[in-house]
């Protein structure tokens, strides 16, 4: 499930070499998901940043009770995971795994890594930049795929679940992790992708 390349296992090294060369040539790099030990997401992100990498640890607000009082704290949006944008070759793969708290990079082995779809990471970044409250949501792929056409989330795509006549949830997923989050949106601010095509 985690690797779409398993059917071509005999050619993994060639495909990764091609991907690295293509990314370097275009000035872009793929996003990868880093699996961490419990409650080690920030520790890992700090270590990777100190090594010169570019980690992305999306967080959201949550309520926490301490000494009988409720506080709003920042918690990882995807517990146990963070993202890293990098053209990974063997030496950087080894350097990344030296960070304390890392379990592995999905998928296993430096020459058969599975990138996260860039549009999924972009959608998560847009949610954070918008300042709209984000909340956890069960992994969800079925439903009407929509694009937000108005407001701070304009351009973000996801699955729309109508809760009220005028409002609903926009569910954004990272399919490699089989994890979703959601935000509340006005039904008038979304349109079905099928109405204009998926581009």
The answer to whether residues 42 and 81 belong to one domain is yes
Q: Is residue 1 part of a domain?
A: no
Residues 104 and 177 in one domain: no
CATH number of the domain enclosing 155 = 2.30.30.30
pLDDT digits (tens, 9 = 90+) for 132-169: 999 999 997 777 899 999 999 999 999 999 998 999 99
How many angstroms separate the CA atoms of 160 and 144, rounded?
6
Whether 50 and 96 map to the same domain: the answer is yes
Residue 184: which residues within 8 A CB-CB, separation 6 or more?
132, 133, 163, 167, 168, 169, 170
Show which of 63, 82, 116 is a domain's final residue: 116
Calculate what percentage of the chain has a pLDDT beyond 90. 66
- What's the predicted TM-score (pTM) here? 0.79
Average confidence score pLDDT of the chain: 83
Claim to verify: residue 110 and residue 138 sit in the same structural domain: no
pLDDT higher at 185 or 199: 185
Same domain, 107 and 91: yes
Task: Establish if 70 belongs to a structural domain.
Answer: yes
Same domain, 128 and 112: no
Which one has a higher pLDDT value, 128 or 12? 128
Residues 75-102 have a mean pLDDT of: 95
- The structural domain count of the chain equals 2
Region 28-38 average pLDDT: 95
Residue 131 has pLDDT above 70, yes or no: yes
* Residue 28, pLDDT above cutoff 90: no
Q: Is residue 87 part of a domain?
A: yes
Residues 103 and 19 in one domain: yes
Full domain range(s) for residue 26 = 6-116
Closest CA to 34 of 101, 107, 105: 105
Cα gap 131→152, rounded to integer Å? 8
Residue 59 in tokens: 């967080």
> What pLDDT is attached to residue 13?
29
**What are 47-86's pLDDT values in tens digits?**
999 999 999 999 999 888 777 788 888 999 999 999 999 9
* CATH code for the domain of 10: 3.30.70.940
């Amino acid at each position: 499930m985690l690797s779409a390349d398993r059917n071509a296992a005999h050619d993994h090294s060639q495909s990764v070499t091609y991907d690295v060369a293509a990314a370097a040539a275009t000035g872009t790099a793929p996003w990868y998901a880093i699996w961490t030990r419990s409650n080690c997401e920030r520790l890992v992100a700090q270590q990777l940043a100190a090594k010169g990498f570019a980690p992305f640890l999306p967080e959201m607000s949550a309520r926490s009770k301490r000494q009988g009082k409720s506080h709003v704290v920042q918690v990882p949006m995807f517990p146990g995971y963070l993202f890293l944008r990098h053209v990974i070759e063997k030496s950087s793969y080894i350097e990344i795994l030296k960070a304390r708290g890392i379990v592995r990079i999905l998928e296993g082995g430096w020459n058969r890594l599975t990138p996260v779809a860039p549009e999924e990471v972009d959608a998560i970044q847009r949610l954070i930049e918008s300042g709209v409250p984000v909340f956890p949501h069960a992994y969800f792929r079925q439903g009407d795929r929509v694009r937000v056409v108005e407001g701070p989330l304009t351009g973000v795509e996801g699955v729309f679940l109508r809760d009220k006549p005028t409002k609903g949830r926009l569910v954004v997923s990272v399919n490699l992790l089989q994890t979703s989050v959601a935000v509340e949106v006005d039904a008038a601010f979304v349109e079905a992708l099928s109405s204009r095509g998926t581009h």
